[in-house]
Amino acid sequence: MFNISPQKTAVITIATDDKVSAEVNLQHGYKKLLVLIPTLTSSAISVSISDRSGGTYYPVHKLKSDLSATGLQSLTAGTGAVAMAFAINGAQYVKIVAAASQGADRTFIVWGMN
């Protein structure tokens, strides 16, 4: 059985930052983040996490079985309209990051899952 957070939105607001969403507080730490990715200006999408509200945000990387990093955990460049699950390993505070500037505000729907 899954433990799922209430639905939240992560908005990339062009006037504020055309690549990074506002902070989303999932209310608890979750292992995974399910993201509904809207139609985009072509871009890779990744997630950054923090241990506290307003804190420093860190990009989430994948690990190999020997625990060495393999690179940024991201959805490869595309125009969105897909769902993606990211491993966030207990994070409560997240931001959605686009590798390319977006041509308009973008609203992502997110849920934390255990």
pLDDT along the chain (114 residues), means of 10: 80 84 93 91 92 95 72 76 90 93 90 91
Could you tell me the pTM of the whole model? 0.86
Structure token pair of residue 37: 């990715």
pLDDT score recorded for residue 13: 85
In a domain, residue 57? The reply is yes
User: In total, how many domains does the chain have?
Assistant: 1
pLDDT score recorded for residue 61: 85
Closest alpha carbon to 49 in 29, 76, 19, 77:
29
In a domain, residue 1? The reply is no
pLDDT score recorded for residue 11: 86
In a domain, residue 2? The reply is no
3-state DSSP assignment of residue 20: strand
In a domain, residue 3? The reply is no
